[in-house]
Amino acid sequence: MSGVSDPKPLIGFSCGDINGIGTELIIKTLSDPRLLEFCTPVIFANNKLINFYRKSLPDISFSFSAAKDSSRISAKQVNLYNCWEDDVAITPGQLTDDGGRYAIASLTVATEALKAGKLEGLITAPIHKKNVQSETFNFTGHTPFLKHVFEVNDVLMFMIAQNMRVGLLTEHVPLHEVSQYVTKENILSKLQLMNQSLNKDFGINKPKIAVLGLNPHAGDEGLVGKEEEEIIKPALRDARQMDIFCFGPYSADAFFARGEHEKFDGVLAMYHDQGLIPFKSLAHGEGVNFTAGLPAVRTSPDHGTAFDIAGKGIADESSFRESVYKCIDIINSRKEVADQYKNPLKKMSAAVLRNAVDEKIALDEN
């Protein structure tokens, strides 16, 4: 896909479950021509799939250019890269083997392009964890799959919204197994990833991170569980020695209810529902799932396949659209940070100039 010379980032879109709302969200989001000012979209799917859902949205004008090979990507329109030629039955709202099989076909081709550097970012539409399972795909979701593909030691499932950022220590783990993963090593690893991501991906210098406790009332000093005293607090002390500005552990129920999350740049939750329930309640339908720790940028909406409304044309694309914007923002932030490290005098000169202006204002006031 090196045929694009435009400086706009090349962004890939995997279609998700072909019977879910993913393709509808892609069409609704990319039908806005203003997006083409900020990125060059490439959908990894199939002509029939796109046309099927396009016909179910008669009030939306959507056009695309089919690219039979990676050298024919147009920076001026939406591109479709055909991942399969099979005549597949599309049955909106139904959980079928084909729904999962072709979701993974799309994801695999898109991820290969991302890893090869042919894409700068990837937005993944929702898959269903049950029907994607096979001998070649034995993962509980996108996050562990991407960790495997990129061969990194760890990644962070990082939920992003305008008013909060919540990372998870554990992702799709049964509740009775969560405590097994609450170790000093795991906490330190996730804190390092969050700290690095807040700095590199969001441009926050010296980010302030809150860490939630595992037990009710954050253990009540050992009365309602020992993990806070024996594991989490020692991990935070070690993290601070690593120059990570972290605090806690906080009691999860009061933390979000009192708006404490707004005082921090990021929050580390111990398990899925502890972080995701308040996040989805407070993100107002515009949350984004970001995989921190990868060399490339991947985002997705914060919801699933929504089989109950698939094919009805009523799916809300707000979170999906925000995933595109956030993907572009993170790509640009990484470029800016890399440029600053490459040209440290540029950053220093700006700081010196600001100080000089401040001093002049102070002198003038006196």
Q: Quick one: which of 173, 131, 122, 160 has its CA closest to 302? A: 160
Query: Rounded CA gap, 262 and 265, in Å?
Result: 8
Identify the DSSP state of 125.
P
Ramachandran class of 208: left when φ > 0, alpha when ψ lies in -120 to 50, beta otherwise? beta
Q: What is the pLDDT of residues 101-152, one digit of tens each?
A: 999 999 999 999 999 999 999 999 999 999 999 988 999 899 999 999 999 9
Q: Higher pLDDT residue, 284 or 343?
A: 284
Residue 346's φ and ψ, nearest 5 degrees, are -60, -45
Q: What is the mean pLDDT of residues 183-207?
A: 97
Residue 171 pLDDT > 70 = yes
Class at the top of the CATH hierarchy for domain 163-282: alpha beta
Distance of CA 177 to the CA centre of its chain: 25
Instruction: List the one residue out of 65, 98, 60 whose CA is nearest residue 82.
Output: 65
Residue 215 has pLDDT above 80, yes or no: yes
Mention every residue, 6+ apart, whose C-beta is less than 8 A from residue 51: none
Compute the average pLDDT of residues 334-358: 65
Q: For the segment 297-312, what is each residue's pLDDT rounded down to a tens digit?
A: 999 999 999 999 999 9
Q: Do residues 181 and 231 lie in contact, with contact meaning Cβ atoms separated by under 8 Å?
A: no
Q: Percent of the chain having pLDDT more than 90? A: 79
- 246 strand-pairing partners: 209
- Going from N- to C-terminal start, the domains of the chain cover 1-152+294-366, 163-282
3-state helix, strand, coil in the chain (%, to 5): 45, 15, 40
At 74, list the tokens: 């147009």
pLDDT level of residue 355 (50, 70, 90 thresholds): low
Residue pair 156/194 in contact (Cβ under 8 Å)? The answer is: yes
Which among 250, 271, 274 is positioned nearest to 179, based on CA atoms? 271
User: What pLDDT, in 10s, does the model give residues 223-243?
Assistant: 888 999 999 999 999 999 999
User: What is the dotted CATH code of the domain comprising 1-152+294-366?
Assistant: 3.40.718.10
Rounded Cα distance, 195 and 199, in Å: 6
Provide the pLDDT for residue 349.
Answer: 54
Other beta carbons less than 10 A from residue 23's beta carbon:
30
143, two tokens: 């996050």
In whole angstroms, give the CA distance from residue 312 to residue 334: 38
Q: Looking at residue 344, what is its pLDDT? A: 62
Structure tokens at 62: 């959507």
Q: How far is CA 167 from CA 158, 210, 248, 293, in A?
A: 4, 10, 15, 12
